[in-house]
Structure 1
């Protein structure tokens, strides 16, 4: 018997869920890849926004070894967790907070906006998706359809606004693993599953660009041979349009 049964249960279910992503999201992954490939060929950008822990998805893609340099995180301390998690939870539910944040990022018709929200009903991500649509960008949501339907209670969902929905299939409450002798659950899955979905799409786009003779702007890990020269060139190319480089 394993000495870590709860850890094993979590990892087992997480592995099973990730294994089903292509079956569950195949069409959406293809559409998202098409949209981002089109943006890449037009020299557009892929902006990524989330609040609370969902903001980590924006940082996951940013300046990432093996990642694409045309990704731009949309970051504002008030909606994240490091400057005050409790306050951030309040702010992400407040209408009107996103517009001044987005004023820093000139999203346009050649761009893609990825909005990440597990529950998919808070004001900030819904308004972010709406602003993206108004700017002419293609909006991709990473969310839980089931959770958002449970939480909506008549409210507009992120999935209702987005052009393309990548469904992480997280349950209401996010956590999947029961603690024996308790009704409590641990082991949230929205972050690892969401990251897998996003990175799968970006990997697909990179491969398509390379196979067509277009050099995909891929960052190398800093300790890999040639990384300094390659990464410096990419930073010089995208820094004028990415305020976080």
Structure 2
């Protein structure tokens, strides 16, 4: 298939365009939760397991990103120290409470939970745990995928205060290679786009209120070091990963 790369890029472009059109209301509601949390002095936590943990790193300590973002990171459910083991662990009930207990989630904060399949135990239970702490939950998932995979299980979409549907297809891959195999996952690029859309909107909403949007500048730009140092000092006590 000589044009498989272009098929992938076109599929990704179409899915991103669809998400931008169909998820605008959910993005605005998620941004409102984040804006309120930041205005109250809270932080924005981000959690995911497997490849969805990349979203936590996507939002953390980067140029153009918000300094109030705190990634929830646990090697137990990340892929770099044992992908097969982490796949098993993300399906283990009871683990989410242990992971999230390290982070002082509260009513002044907000939590993103990313799970494309939307049915594994750890992300679903992470959302439930956060809500017991009074923390509003923004679930970013694929409704098509989670509906196909649920088989009676509770979905992330069922326990989130705001649900953003990435639109990734069941199985995630978008390019048929033969009659049985498809390649080309799209959940990461869709998830990153949805996350940044929410955070950008929150930053704009804060500025509109006359409040500072705590946005990092690129370290290679003039004046960035002083600006970023001030933001780091502001949030260091809440972010164990700074």
The alpha carbon displacement at 1:97 in A equals 1.0
Q: How many Å apart are 1:4 and its aligned residue?
A: 5.2
- Pick one of 192, 205, 222 that aligns with 1:208: 205
Residue number in structure 1 paired with 2:74: 76
Deviation by residue 1:91-147 (Cα, 9 ceiling, x = unmatched): 000011111111110000111011000000000001000001100011000000111
* Counterpart check, 1:196 vs 2:196: no
Say yes or no: does 1:152 pair with 2:150: yes
Alignment match, 2:100: 102
Instruction: Kindly report which structure 2 residues correspond to 1:172-183, keeping only aligned pairs within 5 A, or say none.
Output: 172-179=170-177, 181-183=178-180
Segments of 5+ residues of structure 1 without an aligned counterpart are none
Tell me what 1:237 maps to.
234
TM-score (norm 1): 0.96
What SS class does the counterpart of residue 108 from structure 1 fall into? coil
TM-score, normalisation: structure 2: 0.98
Give the aligned CA root-mean-square deviation in angstroms. 1.1
The counterpart of 1:226, out of the listed 200, 219, 223, is: 223
Out of 51, 54, 57, the residue aligned to residue 55 of structure 2 is 57
Aligned to 1:186: 183
Q: Structure 2 regions of 5+ residues with no counterpart?
A: none
**Counterpart-to-counterpart distance in 2, 1:22 and 1:83:** 35
| Structure 1 segments of 4+ aligned residues over 4 angstroms from their partners | none
Give the total of aligned pairs.
Answer: 242
Q: Which residue of 2 aligns with 1:162?
A: 160
